Structure 1
Amino acid sequence: MTPCTAREICAAVGGTLLQDSGAPVTGVTTDSRAVQPGQLFIPLVGERFDGHAYIGKALEDGAAGCLTAREPETLLPGKLYIQVADTRLALKALASWYRDKFDLPVVQITGSAGKTTTKEMIASVLSQRYNTLRTEGNFNNDIGAPLTLLRLMPEHQAAVIETGMNHFGEIRYLGEMVRPDIAVITNVGDAHIENLGNTRQGILRAKCEIFENLTPEGVAVLNGDDELLNTVTLPQTILRCGVGDGCGVRVTDIDDRGLEGVACTVTIEGEHYRLTTSAPGRYMIYPMAMAAAIGRRLGLTGEEIAAGVAAYTTVGSRMHLIRLPGERLVIDDCYNANPQSMAEGLRMLAASPAQHRVAVLGDMGELGQLTAQAHRDMGALTRRLGLTAVAVGEKMHALTETDPQAQWFATVEEAMPAIRQLFTPGTAVLVKASHAMHFESIVKELEK
């Protein structure tokens, strides 16, 4: 963050300056445990916590000052205090004001699945020419997005911001800060469907909030093979990416190398780009094509685009391949799950050359009326693909209705002995579930 004065920040958030330290603010944090000197501490309030209780500690640890929605009993000398009505809304206002200080191309990404993968792929490509700010990990909510924007510095030449949601209005809220020049929707699936009217049309409507803050001369980059996204019309330019005949960014000559990666040709207005990534999964053609389209739009050469795609690496527990002695393989994809991403993971496991293939699957959350059928569908798929299945969690019990050979356990702890027994030499194991299942503990156990 570039240095900002107390009066600038006070005006940005519409607050009341209780005390000025005289020192500039050089960063923002909402975590009192990670305060750095010169930062502004913003205490957030939730159902089970109130950051105001940690203002004193944050200031003692070096914070330059704080926002507060509570009137302080005392003011520490030499510290900045600004009183606001709501600290969360003040964080948004501050990020929105700060975003206005920068004139650079900003890409905003949303979608039911593949947001982080697409964000990393686009950032990898743009970084071949531009100093690119990107969302760290999946820091994509109403706290993470503004904190990302507040990391912008004069040396940045582009920004790629991931935005997630599980209710109506959230993408609009984030877009009001991000104000993208390029808006990306990866796909429309069933994730969070129970919060969005239990229909994919509801999910589409929520995702399309991204266009409300797209600049008039901006560009929408969409999955051109997504039936619902193909109903979207806008006054701005739309680039549809995929294998379908109606895609202006057309993917052909796909070489799916299984766990060794994917290669394809992307054609845009008669120009051909042969792209290769070591990341597994045929679905990688979409982030590859989207990154190529955006890179070309922002002036990158074909060589730069190809180099950026090749430089992409997976982030966190997203199709992370862990190779272990005895030709054993863990496919760590346990960050999150929905029916589409779980089915893709199962098909990838089935294509593995391993002697034995085991799918360790956990509950998929927020599917509403689709819950039981979605889990039964996974059982039908594991059976059809000839996979050994271990189902974990209350919802995943439905898998056994369509795959009677599957083993079911209520908890990870109960399942671990069976999983260890199956993880013999020559075995590939897919570990996949919604984040709330904490399947990262299974991966850690298998790595021992």
Structure 2
Amino acid sequence: MIEHFFNLHASNYQVDSRIIKKNDVFFALKGERVDGHDFLRDIELKGAKACIIEKDFNGYVPNIQVFRVDGVLKFLQDIAREALKKSKAFKIGITGSFGKTTTKEFLVTILKEKYSVSSTYKNYNSQIGLPLSILNMDRNVDFLVFEMGMDKKHEIENLVSFCQIDLALITKVDLIQEGFKNVEDVAQAKKEIFLSKNIKNKILNFDLLKLKTFHNEKFITFSIKNKNADFYLKNSFFYEKNLKIKLFFPFSEKHFLENALAAISIARILNIDFETIQKGINNLKTVNMRYEKVFIKDALFIKDFYNSNFTTMKESILSLKNYKNRKIFVLGGMPHMVNINKNCHRKILNLAKKYSDNIFLYGKQWENLNHFVYKDLKDIALKLNEILKKDDIVLLKSARFYKLENIFDFIN
């Protein structure tokens, strides 16, 4: 069946019926809210070449190629495994509680200066997203870079089982999800990325060595804080064994420098020369909605609302502490953090008061903290329109849940 599947020569592989196009293949996944089997008529009308459905499905079956399988998700992952077996590319895996998407994009930018590279699409790092991304990418390249995420234990282990990466890196580990007892518990789940049978290099942020999970093992480390790391960056000087190299970065924020260092560390392990690395660094760009900078009305707006947790919100605020400009913070709530750290919103508000001139809060998580909480993004935008001055810095930080980007619909 698998060989027959590959002989389809489909245009693309999809799990979302809304974006199906002619000659695409559709995987009818059944989720908590939506069942892909309910949209088989739609994908037939759109010209899909084939669909994968559950073996026991007894509803409408389209007049196209149909694969009946025991578990559509398992079949998707098995197909991705087979697809990778045919690839001779060196495979790299990146995980972490945060910073993995930016690190992945930075690494891909550097590698592309000299090699052919494919990587997971955007943040397609889940049990569904990663195998789907693998099927849709060009695998006849020098390097494949996979971002790996998880919601619970053994999920990264499963991703690794069909990716079989050669090199793996963990950016950071923090307690930002429910379902884990503590940071050590999260670390154990992230460490699963090193279970690949093909693993040659295990790379860690030096900070993680303080966790028991990473004791009594040998890792390659990187750090912007500790010079004992194998790869160390300070004041734009990169240190590696007896080497000291001056590098020039298009940003100064610590979290971006740390992500860049992680990418550079992988590049050096792959014996990429510094001239190539610097060319790559020159082309580094921040990822959409991750500390993305735009100028509106002569004020700098920092869009940092792709994701949010206590640590990343704290880092975003502290990244602006040395600026002399007037600072305005628009902070959305962090719904997923409430049961993990009950005082996190109060702590963030106190920190924000220390480093800002004006604070706008949005989301019920900020209630009962003796500060006005807005119910509508439009009201925040209208107020910003009134008070904005030249050279102001406006930080917009929030969890994706609140879709803070919609505020720009009302900014003049």
Q: Confirm or deny a common fold (TM above 0.5).
A: yes
Report deviation, 1:270: 2.1
Distance 2:349 2:130 in 1: 37
Report deviation, 1:441: 0.8
Q: Tell me what 1:125 maps to.
A: 110
Q: Tell me what 2:205 maps to.
A: 223
Distance 2:75 2:399 in 1: 31
- Corresponding letter in the other structure for 2:184: Q
Identity of aligned residues (%): 24
Q: Tell me what 2:193 maps to.
A: 210
Q: Tell me what 1:66 maps to.
A: 51
Q: TM-score, normalized by length of structure 2?
A: 0.91
Report deviation, 1:130: 1.2
Q: Secondary structure at the match of 1:371?
A: coil
Q: Secondary structure at the match of 1:277?
A: coil
Q: Tell me what 1:344 maps to.
A: 315
| 1:391 pairs with 2:391 | no
Distance 1:385 1:24 in 2: 56
Query: Aligned match of 1:196 in 180, 185, 190?
Result: 180
Q: Tell me what 2:231 maps to.
A: 249
| 1:324 pairs with 2:283 | no
Q: Tell me what 2:333 maps to.
A: 363
Q: Given the superposition, is the C-alpha separation of residues 44 and 343 from structure 1 closer, same or farther in structure 2, using an over 3 Å criterion?
A: same
- Corresponding letter in the other structure for 2:165: P
| 1:116 pairs with 2:101 | yes
Q: Tell me what 1:408 maps to.
A: 373
| 1:428 pairs with 2:390 | no
What does residue range 71-86 of structure 1 map to in structure 2 within 5 Å? 71=57, 79-86=64-71
Q: Tell me what 2:130 maps to.
A: 145
| 1:381 pairs with 2:356 | no
Distance 1:412 1:348 in 2: 24
Q: TM-score, normalized by length of structure 1?
A: 0.84
Report deviation, 1:417: 3.7
Q: Secondary structure at the match of 1:323?
A: strand
Q: Given the superposition, is the C-alpha separation of residues 76 and 376 from structure 1 closer, same or farther in structure 2, using an over 3 Å criterion?
A: closer
Q: Tell me what 1:300 maps to.
A: 272
CA RMSD of aligned residues (A): 2.5
- Corresponding letter in the other structure for 2:190: K
Q: Tell me what 1:257 maps to.
A: none
| 1:8 pairs with 2:21 | no
- Corresponding letter in the other structure for 2:173: V
Q: Given the superposition, is the C-alpha separation of residues 149 and 335 from structure 1 closer, same or farther in structure 2, using an over 3 Å criterion?
A: same
Q: Secondary structure at the match of 1:44?
A: coil
Query: Aligned match of 2:238 in 266, 285, 292?
Result: 266
- Corresponding letter in the other structure for 2:220: I
Distance 1:386 1:153 in 2: 46
The alignment covers a number of residue pairs equal to 411
Report deviation, 1:230: 7.8
| 1:239 pairs with 2:221 | yes
Report deviation, 1:163: 1.6
Cα offsets for 1:31-63 (capped at 9, x unmatched): 222223332211111122111122232233222
Q: Unaligned regions of 5+ residues in structure 2, if any? A: none
Q: Secondary structure at the match of 2:195?
A: helix
Distance 2:320 2:190 in 1: 30
Q: Given the superposition, is the C-alpha separation of residues 116 and 75 from structure 1 closer, same or farther in structure 2, using an over 3 Å criterion?
A: closer
Contact map agreement 1:389 1:407 (CA 8 A) in 2 = no
| 1:38 pairs with 2:23 | yes
Contact map agreement 2:89 2:139 (CA 8 A) in 1 = no
Q: Secondary structure at the match of 2:239?
A: strand
Distance 1:380 1:236 in 2: 40
Q: Given the superposition, is the C-alpha separation of residues 344 and 237 from structure 1 closer, same or farther in structure 2, using an over 3 Å criterion?
A: closer
Report deviation, 1:187: 0.6
Query: Aligned match of 1:440 in 392, 405, 411?
Result: 405
Q: Given the superposition, is the C-alpha separation of residues 271 and 38 from structure 1 closer, same or farther in structure 2, using an over 3 Å criterion?
A: farther
- Corresponding letter in the other structure for 2:180: L
Q: Tell me what 1:15 maps to.
A: none
Distance 2:391 2:222 in 1: 41
Cα offsets for 1:213-249 (capped at 9, x unmatched): 2624x21121113454585157675333433132011
Q: Secondary structure at the match of 1:366?
A: helix
Report deviation, 1:65: 0.9
Distance 1:222 1:342 in 2: 23
Distance 2:410 2:306 in 1: 16
Distance 1:410 1:315 in 2: 28
Contact map agreement 1:363 1:393 (CA 8 A) in 2 = yes
Contact map agreement 1:222 1:229 (CA 8 A) in 2 = no
Cα offsets for 1:251-298 (capped at 9, x unmatched): 12x1xxxxxxxxx12222323332222234112222222212211222
Distance 2:271 2:362 in 1: 48
Q: Secondary structure at the match of 2:343?
A: helix
Bigger shift: residues 357-366 or 23-32: 23-32
